[in-house]
Amino acid sequence: MIHHRVKPTDRNMIEDLLRPVLHTTWRFYLAVAILGGIVLTGLSTWMYQAYNGLVVTGDNWPVYWGFHETNFVFWIGISHAGTLISAILRICNATWRRPVTRCAEAITAFALMIGGIFPLIHLGRPWLAWWLLPYPSERGIWPNYRSPLAWDFFAINTYLIGSLLFLALPMIPDFAMIRDRSTGLRHKIYGLLSKGWYGTPKQWHRLEAAMHIMALAIIPVAVSVHTIVSFDFSMAVVPMWHSTIFGPYFVAGAIFSGIAALIIAMAILRKILHLEKYLEPIHFQNLGKLLFTMSMLWGYFVFNERLTTWYGNGTAEMPVFQATQSGRYAPLFWLMVFCNFVMPFPFLAIRRMRTITGTVIASCGVVVGMWLERFLIVVPSLSYKAMPYSWGHYMPRWPEVVIMSSSFAALVLLYLLFTKFVPIISLWELRVGEHSELKAAESVQAAEAAGELV
Amino acid sequence: MAHRWGMAVDLDRCTGCEACVTACHSENNIVTVGPEEAARGRAKHWIRIERYWEGEFPDVQVKFRPVLCQQCDNAPCEPVCPTYASHHNEEGLNAQIYNRCIGTRYCANACPYNVRFFNFENPEWDKPLDLQLNPDVSLRENGVMEKCTFCIQRINAGKIAAEAENRALKDGEIKPACVQSCTANALVFGDLNDPESAVSRLSRSTRGSKLLEEFNTQPKVTYLQRESWHDSSQG
């Protein structure tokens, strides 16, 4: 890999990466105002829906699930960007990961928060959602542990807590760095956040050990979360939901859409925060390769699912199959195949096209395609259940569309606020990386860098 | 011995008159939602008459099939409910506890027969129609599921009456609204645990079959039908 780059000095690096945290422009406030406005619109639409009931949505008999459930699965999928990818890269000791991990972990935390709200939004009586908690009820009623929705509740909460820890742990040394470079209220707040970090060898050792444990623990949790989300569908005897392939199919799709979201987020951060020196073409190259692998894997799963359904020729399955291949939902299905497989293929397979622009174009396609995939899993099966007399269709209405749009604005807003309070690139990890690179070259600066490190 | 309620539906007798649908609506306080909402798929019919046509014109026959909750012994709607709102009661009915329902609608999606209905709005009746409501049946509020109960209020009333008179329940004593109103006697209701009851005898008939048997839901509703007219005309 030939790439000539001007290595930023340690001082420059700290300045570059702390700039967004320590200095705020009017553009930031404008963006927060606009995004906050959209999010508030979404929240008030939810209140409107809660007050009037689901009559304002497009849900109907027999398609009782629509956009809200699609968004739920979509966002939980996006959340697999981070923790899983960065945990795997950490365990594999892939050094190029260093500038990418925190961007990815932040997506996970925020996408999970947003995804986790959709099951509440879709409820007929959302104010009773706490009945899913196994609280000691005087009536002796517990949640039904046989229900995949109860599994969801626990899986998503476990993953959310785990990924927040995984995100928060490596922020401690960076908080300490901000603490040491700030005064007044900011100094106090970051002093609290850095939890008495002074970079002693013992502290470093403990942090490394904790990170390793979390990285190992979070992988099975992440895999199980989307498997359990897939169980919401595959446990029901509904044509083309009731499939044994759904667990891995959902996890693959989740990682796929997660990487795409990560690439888009990184490209935007690079432009807006001027991180060209840190988020380099090599990172997009490598993530592009990962995206390509997942695209192939996803294509394999879709082909597999479709082939076995067609070959099995079940009476209940075939109407759903036909509706998605050549019927009512076929345009969406083929658009999905185009967005997820055909269009990204050249951008990701050909090295010269696997540029930042190329991977971003491919990723935009994948995000759209994966949303369509979730929609095509939820809706057509319910439209064409086993009794032909009760077939029906679904069209979203404005509250669902507004709530969905505001969920995208919510992710951007949370991300924006995050970059304001935390360096989006893990400073100390980057410095450790630079340090070991230099050490390997046995350059004179190595000693200096090492001297400055702790 | 506990009761195990079941029904036999004689398709050879059904005339498709929909008296059962009307009777069910008035017995169980099922609200009508108006033409607009009905067109959106928000109509609720705990029992419905499905119409199927067989053959090519002019060699055509129309078939009616009353479809209601099949009260499955192995019900797909029950395990999926996270709050136990949808559960199996001691007499084998797939009961729905309205107060416990949080409205995930998962039970309706899991049901292969599409016989579960969601309340998209609070029920309303124009005055004076509210005076005709059945006081034995609770109204369902916005956001909960509802479904056929086999007229559980009539079952309970029958059991109480028999106990008060210190006697056993007689076969055919309890009649859900649909059964009571069926002019052709196509619907027969009773205790499947009593091998001599009319419904038990009909359920054992060689004409009998279950709806969507391949889903292994083990329904307690049996459909009776001679060999299909279409098949026999070919044979």
Closest Cβ opposite residue B114 in set A59, A61, A235 = A61
Domains and CATH numbers, chain A: 10-125+142-453 (1.20.1630.10)
- HSE value, Cβ hemisphere, 13 Å, CA-based, for A246: 23
Q: Give pLDDT, residue A451.
A: 55
* Predicted pLDDT of residue A5: 52
In this predicted complex, what is the ipTM? 0.91
Question: Distance from CA of residue A56 to its chain's centroid?
Answer: 29
H helices within A327-392, ranges in order?
Answer: 330-337, 344-349, 356-383
In the predicted structure, residue A447 carries a pLDDT above the cut 90: no
pLDDT > 90 fraction of chain A, expressed in percent and rounded: 62
| pLDDT of amino acid A450 | 53
Residues 162-221 of B with CB under 8 A from A: 212, 215, 217
* Contacts with B210 from chain A: Cβ below 8 Å: none
Ranges A431-435, A439-443, B92-96: which has the least confidence: A439-443
Q: Is the pLDDT of residue A6 over 90?
A: no
Nearest alpha carbon to residue A378 among A44, A42, A55, A58? A58
Which residue in the block uniquely carries the two structure tokens 């005055």?
Answer: B127
Which residue of chain A comes nearest to B49, CA vs CA?
A389
- Distance, CA of A11 to CA of A159 (rounded, Å): 36
Euclidean distance between CA atoms B14 and B47, whole angstroms = 13
What confidence score (pLDDT) does residue A435 get? Answer: 62
Tell me which residue has tokens 């995000």.
A367
Is A54 within 8 Å of B108 when comparing Cβ atoms? Answer: no
Q: Quickly list H helices, A195-279.
A: 201-234, 246-272
Q: Average pLDDT, stretch B95-123?
A: 95
Give the one of A62, A128, A389 whose C-beta lies nearest to B102's C-beta: A128
Disruptive mutation site among A46, A54, A60, A61 for chain B (greatest number of B CBs within 10 Å): A61
Omega into B58 within 30° of 0, i.e. cis?
A: yes
Of the residues B40, B65, B104, the best mutation for testing chain A's interface (the one with the most A CB atoms within 10 Å of its CB) is: B104
Contact A141 B215 (CB under 8 A): no
Residues A404/A67, Cβ–Cβ less than 8 Å = yes
Given the structure tokens 């294509």, which residue do they identify? A299
Dihedrals φ, ψ of B216, to 5°? 55, 40
Looking at residues B153-181, what average pLDDT do you find? 95
Kindly state the tokens that stand for A331. 């345009």
Q: Which of A52, A64, A381 to mutate to test the interface with B (most CBs of B within 10 A)?
A: A64
The chain-wide mean pLDDT, for chain B, equals: 92
Task: State whether B120 and A141 contact (CB < 8 Å).
Answer: no
Contact B51 A123 (CB under 8 A): no
Coil/strand/helix, residue A396: coil
What percent of chain A is predicted at pLDDT more than 70?
93
Asked if B41 lies within 8 A of A60 by C-beta distance, the reply is: yes
In this prediction, residues A48-66 reach a mean pLDDT of: 95
By Cβ distance, the residue of B48, B52, B144 closest to A125 is B144
Q: Cα separations (Å) of A331 from A324, A325, B96?
A: 8, 8, 39
Chain-chain contact of A385 with B84 (C-beta, under 8 angstroms): no
Residues 6-45, chain B, touching A (beta carbon < 8 A): 37, 40-44
Tokens of B30: 């099922």
Q: Do A64 and B118 touch (CB under 8 A)?
A: yes
Is omega for the bond preceding A62 within 30 degrees of 0, making it cis? yes
- Which ranges of B102-223 would DSSP assign to H, the alpha helix? 106-110, 152-164, 177-181, 198-203
pLDDT in tens, B13-29: 999 999 999 999 999 99
* pLDDT at residue A27 tops 50: yes
The pLDDT value given to residue A21: 78
Given A147, A386, A390, which is nearest B79 (Cβ)? A147
- Over 90: is that where the pLDDT of A29 sits? yes
Q: Give A183: exposed, middle or buried? Use CB within 10 Å, 0-12, 13-18, 19+.
A: exposed
Q: What is the pLDDT of residue B235?
A: 37
Q: Which residue of A has its CA nearest to B87?
A: A144
| Separation between Cα atoms, residue A129 and residue A134, nearest integer Å | 12
Q: Exposure string (b/e) for A121-132, b if CB count within 10 Å is 16 or more?
A: bbbbbbebbebb
pLDDT of residue A446: 47
The predicted pLDDT at position B231 comes to 53
Domain boundaries, chain B: 5-227
Mean of the per-residue pLDDT values of chain A: 88
pLDDT of the residue at A8: 62
* pLDDT score of A62 more than 70: yes
Q: What is the DSSP letter of A117?
A: H
Q: What is the pLDDT of residue B233?
A: 46
The C-alpha of A431 sits at a distance from chain B's nearest C-alpha, in angstroms, of 48
Task: Burial-class residue A332 by CB neighbours within 10 Å (0-12, 13-18, 19+).
Answer: middle
pLDDT of residue A439: 53
CATH architecture of B5-227: 2-Layer Sandwich (3.30)
The listed range with the strongest mean pLDDT (A7-11, A277-281, A449-453, B137-141) is: B137-141
Cα distance between residue A294 and residue A340, in whole Å = 10
Chain B residues in contact with A231 by the CB 8 A cut-off are none
Contact A124 B114 (CB under 8 A): no
Residue range A387-413, pLDDT digits in tens? 999 999 999 999 999 999 999 999 999
Q: Provide, for chain B, the percentages of residues in helix, strand and coil under a 3-state DSSP scheme, each rounded to the nearest 5.
A: 25, 20, 55
Q: Which residue has the higher pLDDT, A93 or A421?
A: A421
Under the banding of pLDDT at 50, 70 and 90, the label for residue A454 is very low
Cβ A54–B52 below 8 Å, yes or no? no
Out of A2-6, A242-246, A247-251, which region has the weakest mean confidence (pLDDT)? A2-6
